[in-house]
Amino acid sequence: MRDPTAAMREWWDRLADWDPEWTEHFLVAATSPWTSGVLQPKTIELICIAGDAACSHLYAPGTRRHVRAALELGATRDEILAVLKLASLLGFQTIHFAVPILAAELGEPGHASAVSQLRRWDGDWAAQVAEVTASSRNGVLDSKTVELICIGLNAAATHLNGEALRHHIKAALDAGVSRGEIIEVFKVASTLGIHACNVGVPILDEELASRRAQR
């Protein structure tokens, strides 16, 4: 059976051939969360699953790699499912962004939160959203891990929700998460950009080979 990580190694090797210095620096930066020992490897993999599976990224190859790695590190089906549920909640941030704008354009008085405003307009649906949100924090993952995952989701370059990020940083600190642990999550989220090379390097390599073959 073909090694499922072979394709990933192939494009890393090609990138290293083309620009060894840049590749080496990026690899050192990207692997820092795994080598620093600040976060447990399983926690890092759960954060990576969330970032790759999120609606703002939907990167299936990375999701598969990190699900496999998390399982190998002892993560359970329910733990990974809990991560996917948390990632699914990103879609509901539409409410926090859009409802106040609609209320302002309608000239309706402001409310303490977008959710309370939504309850006035569509209480049944708001109740379902509240239930989904609450059940996504069902105790399968401890509160610290939940907040670290949420920090990673909101800090990722594909999302960058500052208001939500601040909320989850505060919640994480209140739960006893250290500054160092949060910084490690920033590191994990920052490496999401390498997927530009993950996707682009093989394409560039193939197109260059095709041009050579046509000569």
| Distance from C-alpha of 62 to C-alpha of 46, rounded to nearest angstrom | 12
CATH of the domain at 192: 1.20.1290.10
Q: Is residue 184 in some structural domain?
A: yes
Do 94 and 61 touch, CB atoms closer than 8 A?
no
Q: pLDDT of 10-39, one tens digit each?
A: 788 999 999 999 999 999 999 999 999 999
Of 92, 83, 184, 95, which Cα lies nearest the Cα of 137?
83
Q: Is residue 21 in some structural domain?
A: no
Q: Which two tokens stand for residue 143?
A: 């509160």
Q: Is residue 68 in some structural domain?
A: yes
Q: State the residue range of the domain holding 52.
A: 26-197
Residue 126 has pLDDT above 90, yes or no: yes
Number of domains observed in the structure of the chain: 1
Question: CA 71 from chain center: how many Å?
Answer: 18
The reported pTM is 0.90
Q: Is residue 102 in some structural domain?
A: yes
Query: How does the average pLDDT of the chain come out, rounded?
Result: 92
Q: Is residue 88 in some structural domain?
A: yes
For residue 1, the model assigns a pLDDT of 32
Q: Is residue 124 in some structural domain?
A: yes
Q: Is residue 13 in some structural domain?
A: no
Residue 77 has pLDDT above 90, yes or no: yes
Neighbours of 49 (CB within 10 A): 27
What integer is the mean pLDDT of 182-197?
95
Q: Is residue 11 in some structural domain?
A: no
The b/e string for 90-127 (b: 16+ C-beta within 10 A; e otherwise) is: beebebbeebeeebeeeeeeeeeebbebbbeeeeeebe
Do 197 and 6 touch, CB atoms closer than 8 A?
no
Residue 136 has pLDDT above 90, yes or no: no
Terminal-residue alpha carbon distance, the chain = 35
pLDDT band for 181, please (50, 70, 90 cuts): very high
**Share in percent of the chain as helix, strand, coil (round to 5):** 80, 0, 20
